[in-house]
Structure 1
């Protein structure tokens, strides 16, 4: 074999080696590009965590819905008669006005018919208020207590240095509550100019 043939064979071997290495590099790159199969256990864990999160969210929503429904039902039971009760208060006011319009000396004068009429009206008023109480309507008694804008409506002020400032000294119209809500605020007159009410005095008056 001539030197030229040996050289040609050597070059061909080098080229084959280079080509083989190139093919091997391409195969390795292709294998690297192919994503590995996910672990089935990890997939199941992820799905389980997602389902658990959805279940907890749904359970919380259902619990909130249950509480809202219970609260709405309780409110409906407690306050469903509010409109009717408010109308009945007007009737009660008229009964009280009728009683107050009867002169005291006329009742004391011995007129049996007038006295029986007054007693009948008074019994009717008491019966109506008792029926309202059975449905959660309660009459406010603010006389002598500290003025509370949440339950009282001030109609006028009465200058009186002997009474603590903002004390209810006159009730013009009775107030009522139903449950924890004000059905009708009490219309009152409050004192002005007296000494300030301390915290202990205000607590005692409210009690």
Structure 2
């Protein structure tokens, strides 16, 4: 195909003629020839904006930083929980130290007065119950109250003409705590319905 003179557009092909590919229109050495085709040369569209690539890189960088921050937060939280649990264990153990001291004192005086040992053990028992109460676990060993499955564990059912049906007749093992903060329910026997 002859080359049109410079500065003039080529004539359009006649109606129904097959157009040559775009690359064939450009002659080697012409000013419109590119040194290297762009990434989208095959589609004929313009190359993507560098702004999009920069924004994508920035978003990916922020995402990676957020993942790292989340991982650091998880590790810091786990260490904090471990530290808090250790502090709470130490506080609870320290609350029971006077109970142990008084038990040792009662045992050391057991030979001198056997009657006093009973009083000493009762005092230590009361002190231990008080420690549990201060920690938030009050003692429950009431008889004659209505059976509550959240606070009581039935270990036996008895026929008792003096007790109302479905009430606690005997507490075999006291319970400690309330609702969700319960160490254990009270083991009880309950009066059955006739």
Distance 2:159 2:25 in 1: 104
Q: CA RMSD in A?
A: 4.3
- Work out which of the residue numbers 1, 5, 24 in structure 2 matches 1:26: 24
Distance 2:139 2:128 in 1: 16
* Aligned equivalents of 1:59, 1:146: Cα separation in 2: 52
Equivalence for 1:10: none
Matched residue count: 147
Does the CA contact (< 8 Å) of 2:173 and 2:188 recur in 1? yes
Query: What is the alpha-carbon distance in structure 1 between the residues aligned to residue 147 and residue 177 of structure 2?
Result: 17
TM-score, normalised on structure 1?
A: 0.49
CA contact (8 A) 1:140 1:186 kept: no
Q: Is the 8 A contact 1:172 1:188 kept in 2?
A: yes
C-alpha spacing 1:23/1:57, structure 2 compared with 1 (3 Å) = closer
| Correspondence for 1:147 | 148
Residue 124 of structure 1 aligns with which residue? 124
Describe the shift of the 1:40–1:69 C-alpha distance in structure 2 as closer, same or farther (beyond 3 A).
same
TM-score of the aligned structures, taking structure 2 as reference length: 0.51
Q: 2:60 aligns with which of 50, 57, 66?
A: 50
Q: Choose between structure 1 and 2: higher helix proportion.
A: 1
Cα shift at 1:163: 2.6
Ranked by relative contact order (alpha carbons within 8 Å, sequence separation 6 or more), the top structure is: 1
Runs of 5+ consecutive residues of structure 2 not aligned to the other structure: 4-9, 11-18, 27-33, 107-112
Conservation of the 8 A alpha-carbon contact between 1:164 and 1:191: yes
Counterpart of 2:158? 158
Distance 1:131 1:42 in 2: 66
Alignment partner, residue 109 of structure 2: none
C-alpha displacement of 1:37: 3.9
Question: CA contact under 8 A between 1:154 and 1:189: conserved in structure 2?
Answer: yes
SS in 2 for 1:138: coil
